[in-house]
A and B are shown apart, each in its own frame.
Chain A
Amino acid sequence: GENVEQHPSTLSVQEGDSAVIKCTYSDSASNYFPWYKQELGKGPQLIIDIRSNVGEKKDQRIAVTLNKTAKHFSLHITETQPEDSAVYFCAASTTGGFKTIFGAGTRLFVKA
């Protein structure tokens, strides 16, 4: 069945450094790729998303890139801050977002 693989499972960076999380998906019909941030004890919250007709999208310190041919997409966080520490999930879904497949998550630690 459809699958989304996410790497790494844990990432530790120094404050101010960049962090990169990578995902691959298997369903070539996927056309919507959101990234969610989950803080301890809370539900996931969308931080950025990208559609398949766009190769890159940026929002302040966060950017996402998509390579449809390779079925890869990545999250880039620059100038990391301690408040970026959380679990990040990538996901892929087809039209309408009815069935979204999530990656296993990356726990990011930003050390002050």
Chain B
Amino acid sequence: NAGVTQTPKFQVLKTGQSMTLQCAQDMNHNSMYWYRQDPGMGLRLIYYSASEGTTDKGEVPNGYNVSRLNKREFSLRLESAAPSQTSVYFCASIRTGGFSSYEQYFGPGTRLTVT
């Protein structure tokens, strides 16, 4: 199992450009998440998808859109990048439904710089 994979690993954008961050998991998990990580601020939830076909806003959704393409894939889109979106982005997945642990499995991250 590859676990959670993310592409690309690094990206530099100019202000106003758009891009899509890709995430896929092969663990048959129902729920998937997008976080951003900034120095001194931990991980902040951007959007999540509790199950295929549903998406919901997290703590910091402004400037982002998401698509749950199927059970495996959950993409994050920046329509018009801004310097404030410079961050490291992590995708995660979680198995849900009657388990004692809600462990989140994280991808390796995408380091995005907006100039």
On whether the two chains bind one another, the answer is: yes
Interface 1/0 per residue, A37-55 and B, CB below 8 Å: 0000111111001010000
Q: Does B81 contact A (CB under 8 A)?
A: no
Query: For chain B residues 9-55, which have a beta carbon within 8 Å of chain A?
Result: 31, 40-45, 48, 50
Asked if B84 is an interface residue, CB under 8 A from chain A, the answer is no
Contact count A vs B, C-beta below 8 Å: 63
* Given known contacts A43-B109, A44-B43, A89-B43, A96 and B58 CB-to-CB distance under 8 angstroms: no
A104 within 8 A of B: yes
Known: A43-B109, A44-B90. A100 touches B101 (CB 8 A): no
- For residue B115, CB closer than 8 A to chain A, the reply is no
Contact of A97 among B90, B102, B106, B109 (CB under 8 A): B102
A9 at the interface (CB under 8 A from B): yes
The residue of chain A having its C-beta at the shortest distance from the C-beta of B91 within the complex is A43
- In contact, A104 and B40 (Cβ under 8 angstroms): yes
Q: How far is the CA of A49 from the CA of B103 in the complex (A)?
A: 8
- Interface code A4-46, partner B: CB below 8 Å = 1, 0 otherwise? 1010010000000000000000000000101010000111111
Of chain A, the residue at the smallest CB distance from B111 is: A41
> Would you list which residues of chain B between 59 and 73 have a CB under 8 Å from chain A?
59
Query: Taking CB as reference atom, which chain B residue is nearest A43?
Result: B106
Can you report 26 residue pairs joining A to B where beta carbons are below 8 Å apart? A9-B40, A34-B103, A34-B104, A42-B108, A43-B106, A43-B107, A43-B108, A43-B109, A44-B43, A44-B90, A44-B104, A44-B106, A46-B101, A46-B104, A49-B102, A49-B103, A97-B31, A97-B94, A97-B102, A97-B104, A98-B31, A98-B96, A99-B45, A99-B48, A100-B102, A105-B40
Q: Which residues of A contact B (CB under 8 A)?
A: 1, 4, 6, 9, 32, 34, 36, 41-46, 49, 51, 89, 93, 96-100, 102-105
- B: residues with CB less than 8 A from A are 4, 31, 40-45, 48, 50, 58-59, 90, 92, 94, 96, 100-104, 106-109
